[in-house]
């Protein structure tokens, strides 16, 4: 095969490591605030689109509906969001952040992204290029199978 296997393996491992690191960083902050990375992104999405259906939220989180369903339930148990059947379309649910959810998101928002500020030590140009190549890579991967 023509594939430069070594490089591709390296790539897979690089991606594993990077996701692991970002998860770790979020987890550290999350502990103080009792929020997980996913919950923060969910609250962010719900702030932008309030209310959201399960499908819409799952899309924003890039997760399956079944995964998102469980996440919403746990967030409800924590009093961060509510869900109600849509009166106009009873298949649909409306998910909304509670005051507590909004407050918690506002409190931690700056912190979370600031935490990642050291990334800016990397050249802006390089970072832009990284995103471009990653986008190209994503496109190729999406075309597989």
Interface residues with a second copy (CB under 8 A) are 1-5, 7-22, 25, 28, 62, 110, 113-122, 124, 126-131, 133-138, 140-145
| Binds 121: which of DNA, a second copy, none (CB < 5-8 Å by kind) | a second copy
Angle, CA of 76, 81 and 83, to the nearest 5°: 80
If the CB atoms of residues 85 and 137 are measured against a second copy, the closer one turns out to be 137
12 binds, among DNA, a second copy, none (CB under 5 to 8 A by kind): a second copy
Residue of 25, 29, 47, 63 interacting with DNA (CB under 7 A): 63
* Helices 5-33/99-115 angle, 10° precision: 130
Minimum CB separation of residue 142 from DNA in Å reads 13
- Cα 132 to Cα 15, 23, 127, 143, distances in angstroms: 15, 22, 9, 17
In this complex, which beta carbon is closest to a second copy, that of residue 65 or of residue 89?
Answer: 65
The C-alpha atoms of residue 81 and residue 96 are separated, in whole angstroms, by 5
For residues 46 and 52, give the distance between their C-alpha atoms in angstroms, rounded to a whole number: 7
Residue 44 CB-half CA count within 13 A: 14
Interacting span for DNA (CB under 7 A) from 55-63, 97-105, 115-123, 136-144: 55-63
List interacting residues with DNA (CB under 7 A).
20, 23-24, 27, 36-39, 53-56, 61-67, 69-74, 83, 89-93
């Amino acid at each position: 095969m023509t594939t430069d296997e070594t490089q591709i393996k390296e790539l897979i491992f690089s991606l594993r490591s990077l996701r692991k690191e970002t998860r770790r960083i979020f987890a550290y902050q999350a502990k103080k605030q009792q929020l997980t990375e996913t919950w923060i992104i969910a609250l962010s999405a719900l702030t932008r689109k309030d209310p959201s259906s399960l499908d819409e939220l799952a899309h924003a989180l890039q997760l399956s509906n079944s995964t998102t369903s469980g996440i919403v339930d746990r967030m409800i148990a924590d009093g961060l969001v509510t869900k109600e059947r849509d009166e106009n379309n009873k298949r649909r649910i409306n998910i909304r952040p509670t005051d507590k959810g909004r407050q918690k998101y506002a409190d931690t928002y700056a912190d979370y992204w600031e935490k990642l500020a050291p990334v800016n030590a990397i050249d802006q140009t390089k970072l832009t290029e990284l995103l471009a190549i990653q986008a190209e890579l994503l496109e190729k991967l999406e075309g597989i199978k």
